[in-house]
Amino acid sequence: MSMENRIQAASLAILSSVAVGGALYWLQPVLIPFVLAVFVALGLSPLVDFQTRVLRFPRALALLATLVLVVILFILIAMIVSASVNQLAANAGIYEGQLSLMLERLSSRLPGELVALLPEAEIETLSQIPASSVGNLLAQTTNAILGILSQGFVVFVFVVFLLIGGGQWSRQEEGTMGEIVARVRRYLVVSGVISVTTGVLVCLALMLLNVPLAMVFGLLAFLLNFIPTVGSIIATLLPLPVVIISPDISPTVALLAIAIPGLIQLLIGNIVTPKVLGDSLDLHPVVILMALIFWGMLWGIVGMLLATPITAVLKILLEKFPSSRPLAELLAGRLTGLLVDDEPV
């Protein structure tokens, strides 16, 4: 390939990438539920296979049992989140008073030199919290939950039709599609089991420490575990604001509420996950981090959850064509493919 052709191909690739990125952002109300449903259906298909092959259930009965299980789990999650929001609303005054007291103590302990530099109005602001702040936070949380629940219904509808028409996923297909399905299914199943284990352990640890919203933090640890590296850090630090402003939690318990989930995340993320999951996706950590940033900019938190499997699918597709194979090697962190000259035709 001549230099001119290479420049033209690179220019077309850049323009196509920008156009695709714009389309992905513009169509996110439709694409997010659909793509999420595809991966959920891929993750549930092994459960359907187990019922049909091992338990000898008819496929229709296996699908019905799987969908009923999904509905039950969805209702349980909604109940947990709803109870937690009600708990936050009931204790809003306590949390607001505790936070105001903490800020008042903080302002009283500021160095004299720093106090002299601050206007008096700003010093008074440190010791006073607007009464509407907690209410606004609760309203935003409720709206976010309602948005997630409404999207969950759309995802469930997509999952139903994908499972009904997705019998081919249960067969061992050859070629690119079979490889994509096999890799993504293994990643989703193994990551799901590891994430459930992480969420349960975090929830139990926080419940033993009497930390408020322990079940919600366990649920968030389960979801954020699908986001490599970054998710574990966020899940570990999430209980920090609650344990700080809760009047019934001592400093020792507050420290344990951060240290124990952090230890759980560290052991599972650095020991269990590499041994169980291995390098099945064959993606470089820097590529995964870049994918998290890119898909997070496009689709928010859901994009970050889907970043790793989407990038893995893209890598498998790039491996199947000689012209794009060097890009697949680059996603795996192997730069040698970019340095090899084109083979003679």
- Give how far the C-alpha of residue 165 lies from the chain's centroid of Cα atoms, to the nearest Å: 27
Helix, strand, coil content of the chain in percent (nearest 5) = 80, 0, 20
What pLDDT score does 168 carry?
Answer: 55
What pLDDT score does 175 carry?
Answer: 65
What pLDDT score does 277 carry?
Answer: 66
Is the torsion defined by CA of 15, 18, 20, 22 positive or negative? negative
Of the candidates 161, 168, 179, 154, the residue with the CA atom closest to the CA atom of residue 36: 154
What pLDDT score does 50 carry?
Answer: 87
What pTM value is reported for the model? 0.74
310 touches 283 (CB < 8 A)? no
- Angle, in degrees to the nearest 10, between helices 59-90 and 131-164: 180
What pLDDT score does 281 carry?
Answer: 66
Cα(273)–Cα(288) distance, integer angstroms: 15
325 touches 196 (CB < 8 A)? no
For tokens 């996110």, the residue is 28
What pLDDT score does 111 carry?
Answer: 57
* Token reading at 234: 């966020």
* Token reading at 261: 């989930």
Of the candidates 206, 312, 182, the residue with the CA atom closest to the CA atom of residue 257: 206
pLDDT tens sequence for the chain (345 residues): 567 777 777 788 788 888 888 888 898 888 888 988 888 888 888 888 888 888 888 988 999 999 899 889 888 877 877 777 677 667 666 666 666 666 665 556 555 544 454 454 444 444 444 444 544 554 555 555 556 666 778 888 888 888 887 655 555 556 667 777 877 888 888 888 899 999 999 999 999 998 888 888 888 888 888 877 778 888 888 888 778 777 778 888 889 989 999 999 888 877 777 777 655 667 777 888 888 888 888 888 788 888 888 888 888 888 877 777 888 888 887 776 555 544 443
